[in-house]
Amino acid sequence: MINGKPLIAGIQQVGLGIACVHSTWRWYRENLGFDIPIFNEAAEAGLMLPYTGGQARKRHAILALNLRGGGGLEIWQYTERKPQAPEFQPQLGDLGIFILKLKSSDVPATYHALKENGNDILDEITVNPAGQQHFFMNDPHGNLIEIVEGNSWFTKKSKRTTGGVYGCVIGVSDIEKSLPFYQKILGCDTVVFDEKNTFSDLAALPGGDASCRRVLLRHSDHRRGAFSKLLGDYEIELVEVKERKPRKIFEDRYWGDLGFIHLCFDISGMEAMKRHCEAHGHPFTVDSSKSFDMGEAAGHFSYIEDPDGTLIEFVETHKLPLLKKLGWYLDLRKRPPGKALPNWMLRALSLNRVK
């Protein structure tokens, strides 16, 4: 927090509900470079009762990063109940997080490498209305991933062309109602494009031949915070379909069931963020109050809902493992807000890499 205002450092992670946490992490690790574990813990989700049927649920979660830069992936599995899939095939424009955006420094090279490894590539490389090269694929469980051209990198020289999370494609019922939420609360104040049409670059997606409105949002402010250099820039794409009534992707299901369960931002100044969200009509629905402890990492988290109920998480990190084998942890509460961690300290996370 600076001058009474909360700071957003970047997208910390996107949550992915899955039925097999370890094999899923192996796939994301081997194919997309999410090989730096921040935590790998079995515990009970006791604070998410509004979204887990009013009961505390046992789960296993792994938060992993790609040190090329970008947000992480929180792979999340129920351990005492079978996670449920939607009863219908989600389509473009259905309400919630529909696609995970991952960035690439060389989209053609990423495309050919993933295709040679036998992955489920849905289309050829196309260009979106912003002029970015991109393509779509499924992970082994049918979760949609967009590989899109990015230009914000922490590690610039690498044999790997993929980076971390760059954003999401989110279905909304009314873009005009959703824009103030994403622009004023999340700071995505720059409209890169706003177009209504049928889009050839979306044709390979379920429901991708429908007429829709697409708005791509980015942030004009240079992000500050301990992890801002690593997390980098991000974008959020909103989609509103015109020809049918969209359904909620998590209709009649729990947070943690199969699919993309939340979009999480790394912040400083949780109390300021609480006031900020309340002032814009979106109060916290979950608040861990003071601190949560994942064993290897700790902090303060909260949730709000966008106008259609899509879950947005905020995390203010208090403790981070830099070198687990030596018990070297960083206490971020002692650092000035807004001050980025030095590059050497972030690179030290590579000592925890799982090959």
Average pLDDT over residues 279-291: 89
Q: How many CA atoms lie within 13 A of 295 on its CB side?
A: 13
Q: Which pLDDT belongs to residue 157?
A: 78
What values do phi and psi take at 115, rounded to 5? Answer: -70, -40
Distance CA 81, CA 339 (A): 42
Note the pLDDT tens digit of each residue in 20-68.
Answer: 999 999 999 999 999 999 989 999 988 999 999 999 999 999 999 999 9
> Is a pLDDT exceeding 90 seen at residue 331?
no
Distance CA 287, CA 228 (A): 23
For 264-331, the DSSP string reads EEEEE-HHHHHHHHHHTT---SEE--S-EE-SS-EEEEEEEE-TT--EEEEEEEEEEEEEGGGTEEEE
Average pLDDT over residues 249-258: 98
Q: Which pLDDT belongs to residue 13?
A: 98
Q: Which pLDDT belongs to residue 348?
A: 87
> Is a pLDDT exceeding 90 seen at residue 210?
yes
Average pLDDT over residues 247-260: 98
Task: Report the 10 Å Cβ neighbour count for 173.
Answer: 17
Q: Which pLDDT belongs to residue 290?
A: 62
> Between 46 and 75, where is the model more confident?
75
Q: What is the mean pLDDT of the chain?
A: 93
Average pLDDT over residues 193-200: 97
> Is a pLDDT exceeding 80 seen at residue 243?
yes
The answer to which of 26-35, 85-94, 260-269, 311-320 has the lowest mean pLDDT is 311-320
* Contact by Cβ (8 Å): 70, 232: yes
Average pLDDT over residues 283-304: 78
Note the pLDDT tens digit of each residue in 95-152.
Answer: 999 999 999 999 999 999 999 999 999 999 999 999 999 999 999 999 999 999 998 9
> Is a pLDDT exceeding 90 seen at residue 222?
no
Which residue type does 157 have?
K
> Between 317 and 333, where is the model more confident?
317
**Tokens matching residue 53:** 């049927």
For 152-215, the DSSP string reads --SS-S-S--EEEEEEEEEE-S-HHHHHHIIIIIS---EEEEEEEE--GGGTTSTTTTS-EEEE
* SS3 state at 43: strand
Could you tell me what percent of the chain has a pLDDT over 90? 81
Q: Which pLDDT belongs to residue 164?
A: 98
* Contact by Cβ (8 Å): 262, 249: no
Task: Report the 10 Å Cβ neighbour count for 323.
Answer: 13
- Opening angle at CA 278, ends 336 and 258, nearest 5: 85
> Is a pLDDT exceeding 60 seen at residue 342?
yes
Q: Which CATH code is given to the segment(s) 7-352?
A: 3.10.180.10
What values do phi and psi take at 326, rounded to 5? Answer: -100, 5
Task: Report the 10 Å Cβ neighbour count for 283.
Answer: 14
Write down the domain spans for the chain: 7-352
Q: Which pLDDT belongs to residue 48?
A: 94
Distance CA 214, CA 196 (A): 6
Q: Which pLDDT belongs to residue 227?
A: 94
* SS3 state at 62: strand
Banded pLDDT at 327 (limits 50, 70, 90): low
b (16+ CB within 10 A) / e for 110-144? bbebbeeeebebbbebbebeeebbbbbbebebebb
Q: Which pLDDT belongs to residue 216?
A: 98
| Numbers of helices and strands, H then E, in the chain | 6, 19
